Structure 1
Amino acid sequence: MTETPMAPQHLPAARPAGCPFDPPAGLARLRERSALTRMEFPDGHHGWLATGYSVVRAVLADPRFSHRNDRRHWPLADIGQGLPPIPGDMLHLDRPEHTRYRRLLASRFTMRRMRRFTDVITEIVAARLDAMRHRGGPVELVEVFARPIPMLSVCELLGVPPEDRDRFTPHVRPDRGGAEELPTTFVDMGFTAMQDYFRDLAATRRTTPADDLLSDLATSGDFPDDELAGLAAIMLLAGVESTTSMLSLGVFALLTHPDQLTALRARPELADRAVEELMRYLSVVHTGARAALVDVELAGQVVKAGETVALSLQSANRDPARFDAPDELDIGRVPGGHLGFGSGIHPCLGKELARIEMRVAFPALFDRFPTLRLVDPEDIEMRDPSDNVYGVRQLHVTW
């Protein structure tokens, strides 16, 4: 056992000037000293910060650590411990409750099933590109491209009628708090209204089912009304927020790495690798947290029961002990092992859908607009460090 540092660190948040894609430099310095460091949380809780890849991955896979908001402290803002999970909130449940949701939903989110959805996503992307062409440059890419693609894709998957889809746009925005990790913001985002909507839609689908996920879930008998309404609303929020940021920030990254964009254009078959590399390199969902349920020996330290471990996914994804030249964007890199979709007990349920959206959207955008370029690249405003989902607030482009 090593001696526990006496002076807790604060979570490094300042990114290097002029390097919007790099994690805060303080994370690498901490990782070099120790993969697990004492940390003071914004609410005063003294817990831990995991920066090394092996430690972050170990915590994500360990059932002795809880993902419940009412047991952990939040590392990005002073909200202390949150509320118990609402019905349907499988994201913030532990075993065995989480296992029940995962078992019932896993067969509905298989890679094969999601790939059958590719034609639908291709049509959505093509329609957004047509709208961009019709409008003419310059355009704000988040508004016309990055947000509509996952929004329409998840609505199509759930079976939200086309005439109702616009009502969700104000509640899922890239300049709002990260819905996946901050459920206390759900009220501010109109989450109750979203639950009410899906409760009514599920009741309709029970009597008149269609070929969509909500009909499947509503007629299965596996979920009571409150669970189904909460689950559908969370799917929409979680499925849109991070993919919106990945699409917009990914375009920003490729346009500022012309060698990588040239390689993608020359070899469209690299799209799969490009998506995985951008997930690693950008780490838009950059920080998580778990609370120890019992005393756990970890990286030569003892994490006491009740202490929260903050997980720096962005630091883990740039750990030179796991990735060669980790600070370089290399779309030819052999993919595997990144934590962009989480890992362990709580991997992202919709990761295959998100992958397909990006695999289709990135090549299609640059194929349709080969002269695409940033407008005022020095003035692009990034999201606040306290937002759990990192990205741009707006991205103006032209061609």
Structure 2
Amino acid sequence: MTTTPAEDVIGTEADSPGTGTHPAFPFGRTCPFALSDKYESYADDNLKKVDFKGTPGWLVTGYNNVRSVLADPHTSVRGIDDSSRGDDGDQAVPGFFVAMDPPEHDDLRRILAKEFTPRRMAAMRPTIERIADNLIDEVLTSAEPVDIVDALALPLPSLVICELLGVPYDKHDFFQERTRAVLAADSTPEQIGAAIGDVMGYLAELVTIKQATPGDDLVSLLVKHVESGALSVVDVAGMSTLLLMAGHETTGNMIGLGLLALLEHPDQLAELRADPELMPQAVEELLRHADIIGSLPRTATQDIEIGGQRIAKGELLMFSTEAGNRDPSVFDEPDRLDFRRDASRHLTFGHGIHTCLGAPLARLELQVVFSILLERIPTLRLAVPAADIRLKNDARIFGVHELPVTWDRP
């Protein structure tokens, strides 16, 4: 029970300019359900060069190579020209452990993991269901067509992460605006730094409030580690900023792109309707098939070898998780969307010590929102031709700018 990728070209491809010596990376997509044609010359296991923001680096595409080197302790997340990760060039922004190496990374992540547990995430299910139902209530009373990205995909994870952290949702527009500034491909390092600083400043004030009047939320739990001396107020503000910004756009983009995949693969949608128990497995396959992150950068901290290619200390490595997720040696007929496939080994959440800490929450949000949406609006469909949908090739996180939908009213 499989489907072939959509044949229509959706959106336009927009690559960042390279130096002219090597292709610019990341590669833009012309179809949300297929890799860029530029991957054709990188199809074998032989590493080849790309340019990342004008810096030459080695592109790693094979599943096994991506997985093994992401777990290699001889690579680093430091010294990479990407201020959206909270790296100001000299050191990581306090609390932004995604831009830190051990032991600083391990110390912060270990503290957060004590509070950001899979069990705590699972306990969020009733909250996520309530938020999804409320948003869909508003969708059903709106005039058609409805942009489901604006009405559901983006606000749902924003509401969830705000409730989890204990952050007032009336600051949603403030957070959304600054998150988009951080993730916009044309934002300068100064603009990104200012946006992160704005959010951290607000959250630092919130941390001091929680110290005096703690609640049953994640920020309040992290405040206890300030009292013990393990964290500073700035650390908690930075960690909260990272979670807040990651929780806004990543899951939101995946909801929009995943729904597009469902609507454009009607036989797989029919499978899911016939067997709702498939939803967790379907979400894993959607994550594999539509990978919104696509690339992960590292630098080599000593000479290493990948697939027979010597990488010198200090050289840049770009790991294409989207290409790894299409490796035919691991996933049979990888260009097909197949909800009967075991896609749990996908690389979309990364691998190694920097594996996405919020993966359990993202999975839960996707399962809940797709289940409720398909149950409550069974005739949901695109309101425009798929070819008219604009892809987010102009942002660091892939997705769709908008997704107009309609349905049959009673």
**Fold match (TM-score > 0.5):** yes
SS at match of 1:145: helix
How many residues end up aligned between the 2 structures? 381
Instruction: In structure 2, list runs of 5 or more residues that go unmatched.
Output: 1-20
Q: Distance in 2 between matches of 1:129 and 1:245?
A: 17
Q: Which amino acid aligns with 2:59?
A: L
Q: Displacement of 1:166 after TM fit? A: 4.1
Q: 1:183 to 1:365 in 2, by over 3 A?
A: farther
1:313 to 316, 321, 329: 321
Residues 76-116 of structure 1: per-residue CA shift (max 9 Å, x gap):
9xxx9945211111111001110101211112222222101
Q: Displacement of 1:217 after TM fit? A: 0.4
Larger mean Cα displacement after TM superposition, 305-314 or 133-142: 133-142
Q: Distance in 2 between matches of 1:174 and 1:244?
A: 16
1:340 to 338, 348, 371: 348
Task: Give me the identity figure in percent.
Answer: 39
2:47 to 19, 36, 39: 36
1:53 to 53, 60, 63: 63
1:202 to 207, 212, 230: 207
Q: 1:9 to 1:84 in 2, by over 3 A?
A: same
Q: Considering only aligned residues, what root-mean-square deviation do their CA atoms show, in Å?
A: 2.5
Residue 13 (1) aligns with residue 12 (2): no
Q: 1:303 to 1:84 in 2, by over 3 A?
A: same
Q: Distance in 1 between matches of 2:309 and 2:109?
A: 32
SS at match of 1:291: strand
Q: Displacement of 1:332 after TM fit? A: 1.5
Q: Distance in 2 between matches of 1:250 and 1:174?
A: 24
Q: Distance in 2 between matches of 1:165 and 1:81?
A: 25
Q: Displacement of 1:334 after TM fit? A: 1.5
Q: Distance in 2 between matches of 1:173 and 1:141?
A: 18
1:226 to 210, 230, 234: 234
SS at match of 2:298: strand
Instruction: In structure 1, list runs of 5 or more residues that go unmatched.
Output: 1-6
Match of residue 139 from structure 1: 146
Q: Which amino acid aligns with 1:186?
A: I
1:63 to 68, 73, 77: 73
Question: Contact 1:38 / 1:48 at 8 angstroms: preserved in 2?
Answer: yes
Match of residue 13 from structure 2: none
Q: Displacement of 1:339 after TM fit? A: 0.5
Question: Contact 2:299 / 2:315 at 8 angstroms: preserved in 1?
Answer: yes
Q: Distance in 2 between matches of 1:175 and 1:118?
A: 29
Q: Which amino acid aligns with 1:177?
A: A
Match of residue 3 from structure 1: none
Residue 254 (1) aligns with residue 268 (2): no
Q: Which amino acid aligns with 2:288?
A: R
| Aligned 1:1-399 pairs, distance under 5 A | 8-11=22-25, 13-16=27-30, 19-32=31-44, 34-43=45-54, 45-68=55-78, 71-73=79-81, 82-173=89-180, 176-177=183-184, 186-187=192-193, 190-221=195-226, 222-376=230-384, 377-384=386-393, 387-399=395-407
Question: Contact 1:175 / 1:383 at 8 angstroms: preserved in 2?
Answer: no
Residues 29-74 of structure 1: per-residue CA shift (max 9 Å, x gap):
3123x3422333332x332110111111112101111112xx1356
Q: Distance in 2 between matches of 1:63 and 1:30?
A: 25
Question: Contact 1:35 / 1:55 at 8 angstroms: preserved in 2?
Answer: no
TM-score, length-scaled by structure 2: 0.87
Q: 1:175 to 1:164 in 2, by over 3 A?
A: closer
Q: Distance in 2 between matches of 1:173 and 1:226?
A: 22
Q: 1:312 to 1:347 in 2, by over 3 A?
A: same
Q: Distance in 1 between matches of 2:398 and 2:406?
A: 23
TM-score, length-scaled by structure 1: 0.89
SS at match of 1:309: strand
Question: Contact 1:87 / 1:230 at 8 angstroms: preserved in 2?
Answer: yes
Q: 1:121 to 1:301 in 2, by over 3 A?
A: same
Q: Distance in 2 between matches of 1:12 and 1:207?
A: 45
Q: Distance in 2 between matches of 1:238 and 1:182?
A: 19
Q: Displacement of 1:144 after TM fit? A: 0.6
Question: Contact 1:114 / 1:353 at 8 angstroms: preserved in 2?
Answer: yes
